[in-house]
Structure 1
């Protein structure tokens, strides 16, 4: 059957190339300007965007693994998009090294003077120390890279050989990845995000981060899939594929709300000062409006926008919802990181949330690198897995 399929060869458009390089250049210039003029602010912005795009890349691998484990046939025609997201993981490794260089500006537990007078941090020093932090962050990313190389590599190899055993190998690899991912991403989110405030802790913070990862990752996947459906893959992707992806996004919008409420409820009910301080920081000085924006922007608005069946099929409507979800995911990570910006240096809360060209510029820089990595992957490889044994099922997928 593979010989009967003529898959168009993807080519990055000149407009896309221009956007990629302009975004990357803006990001680099913003970062360099900020390093000399406002280093702490620029490192906070860097951390926010770094974690944002790391999560998008990992969501691609997670989605691929879940579909292998469940032997899903419907999604085969869509699989190259999430596989392409993993092409950003090498940039994540480089980005982590850069983050480590600026870690002193972000994490107060790296400051010996603060640790010397803070008994709470002293109790956590066996875990929160520079050497162990670097080891964990690099080790986690290397593990993700290894699984991505194996799982995506087998998928690409099957395009050439048609070996069905590669599908079985990816099933086993995907099971292993899910186990590793559950632990490593939870700890990675604790290390890079939660430890910005080393006094605070949440037992389900890793699950909260994952909920955002999958909601935003699905939104980004849908945008790429819709773009390909409108052109290169219009004969391979139908409305039912889009409907299924829309249902995924709708479901994980509800899942995010459930986890966010659960975290709040657990902390409110326990009423421990080292936990409640997180929400106290985010209910004063203008941060209460950011907190409310997450309730409406990450749950109520997308929930209502995706509830009707037609909303999960109509391309124009779905694009708007996906862009909205991606914007709100950045707001979510911003809300997690930025209230600590002043509290870590002078013990005071920022009067109002700060957002200007530092945040926009560095986000655009990461966006440019992400688009470059994904588009290059799609250029080098077939847009669909042409010799996957479940391809026929995906080609004729109907609800």
Structure 2
């Protein structure tokens, strides 16, 4: 098999630069509109919304301004795109841990996603250092002072875990270990193209096992840190799994979409309809899995009906700023993928699968928006030019990194020991 190379053309780079510029323009426009009152901050919140504020963590410092809204958008996209990168590495690792051969022709695509990890780590740490008081209510020292009228006994009981130094330390450890294991996997993956044989494969499997085990723990702890602690009084025993499911289905949709686009441009000739079908089944199956966890988490709080627990959903269902988004989650992330991808033929049709992947990627960005924004912005969160603009900036940067790395190595791991099996894959 001859080596296939991806060429990151000047035209493709130009499109990403245009996307980046559009994102910056929209972000600036959103900031200007927020400062001029065009965002609707002058609206009076519903009484139920105010009640939620009073009982659920409280505000910390008046109305939310454009800067706080910008920090929130940055945090959402930090979490979301780091998740896509992690799923890229996890997907590759799982293929080696399970000794799967069918995915050998496409493994370079999820590998390329992993290069966002060190960049995403730096962005996340810098954002936390700059904006921690705006993003996380528990970072305010007066909450732990028993002499202060703002003293919070619930948070005081959690301070052994929720404190600035330990939070930052955990985040640094996550990214250092994730990135180190990714680069070790990538190193031997590229070596495999040079020397062939099974020795690199066994090395990759060893590091993949370590990554899967470490990720199995840190996927939950990072979800508690980066997302659940935005609402520091509330907790869910399902939350780590829920965040993982949202990450995983979005990551699978991103991998599938990029594989299909590469095929549209004449690349990945060894990838057949059967490989695409398998990716479609993963996207379909984990959309159902996400829905199962979404409903399970909601049902637990619905039938227990304990006020300090249900307030999480009250903030999202009663508040007019969020209820349309919240109610649309199941439709976008379950109903559309379920019915569109239910049949065998739909999973083998590139055009249909690409549309489903785009819907899922947008839908799970919205899922993270709904997990994070109400806890930070209270009654003043919405999706406008600023949110769209920041997302486009991140998306263009993420794609630029991934496509650059795709162009630096063979697009197909032609000396993978299971490539022959992959080429005869049939379902």
Shift of 1:153: 1.3
The yes-or-no answer on 1:390 pairing with 2:411 is no
Q: 1:272 aligns with which of 306, 311, 331?
A: 306
Question: Does the CA contact (< 8 Å) of 2:134 and 2:376 recur in 1?
Answer: no
What corresponds to 2:259 in structure 1?
A: 225
Shift of 1:197: 1.0
What corresponds to 1:138 in structure 2?
A: 172
Give secondary structure in 2 for the equivalent of 1:307.
coil
Shift of 1:214: 0.9
Which deviates more from structure 2 when the two are superposed, residues 282-291 or residues 301-310?
Answer: 282-291
What corresponds to 1:313 in structure 2?
A: 348
Kindly report which structure 2 residues correspond to 1:96-115, keeping only aligned pairs within 5 A, or say none.
96-100=124-128, 101-115=130-144
The yes-or-no answer on 1:215 pairing with 2:211 is no
What corresponds to 2:7 in structure 1?
A: 11
CA–CA distance in 1 between the matches of 2:388 and 2:134? 20
Question: Does the CA contact (< 8 Å) of 1:8 and 1:232 recur in 2?
Answer: no
What corresponds to 1:152 in structure 2?
A: 186
Deviations 1:54-88 (A, max 9, x none): 11000001110111011111100010001111011
CA–CA distance in 1 between the matches of 2:341 and 2:28? 41
Kindly report which structure 2 residues correspond to 1:248-259, keeping only aligned pairs within 5 A, or say none.
248-259=282-293
Question: Does the CA contact (< 8 Å) of 1:201 and 1:274 recur in 2?
Answer: no
The yes-or-no answer on 1:300 pairing with 2:335 is yes
Deviations 1:150-188 (A, max 9, x none): 112111111111141111122222111111001112111
Shift of 1:273: 2.7
Question: Does the CA contact (< 8 Å) of 2:19 and 2:392 recur in 1?
Answer: yes
CA–CA distance in 2 between the matches of 1:294 and 1:281? 15
Aligned residues: 388
The yes-or-no answer on 1:22 pairing with 2:50 is no
Kindly report which structure 2 residues correspond to 1:314-329, keeping only aligned pairs within 5 A, or say none.
314-329=349-364
Shift of 1:97: 2.2
CA–CA distance in 2 between the matches of 1:26 and 1:86? 25
What corresponds to 1:46 in structure 2?
A: 74
What corresponds to 2:396 in structure 1?
A: 368
CA–CA distance in 2 between the matches of 1:361 and 1:16? 20
What corresponds to 2:226 in structure 1?
A: 192
CA–CA distance in 2 between the matches of 1:57 and 1:98? 18
CA–CA distance in 2 between the matches of 1:82 and 1:121? 39
Deviations 1:5-60 (A, max 9, x none): 22332111223212322333455566688599621000011111111101100000
CA–CA distance in 2 between the matches of 1:30 and 1:148? 34
What corresponds to 1:346 in structure 2?
A: none
CA–CA distance in 2 between the matches of 1:144 and 1:28? 30
CA–CA distance in 2 between the matches of 1:50 and 1:84? 17
Question: Does the CA contact (< 8 Å) of 1:229 and 1:236 recur in 2?
Answer: no
Q: Say what the alpha-carbon RMSD is for the aligned residues.
A: 1.8
Q: 1:172 aligns with which of 206, 217, 234?
A: 206
Deviations 1:124-147 (A, max 9, x none): 111111111110111101111011
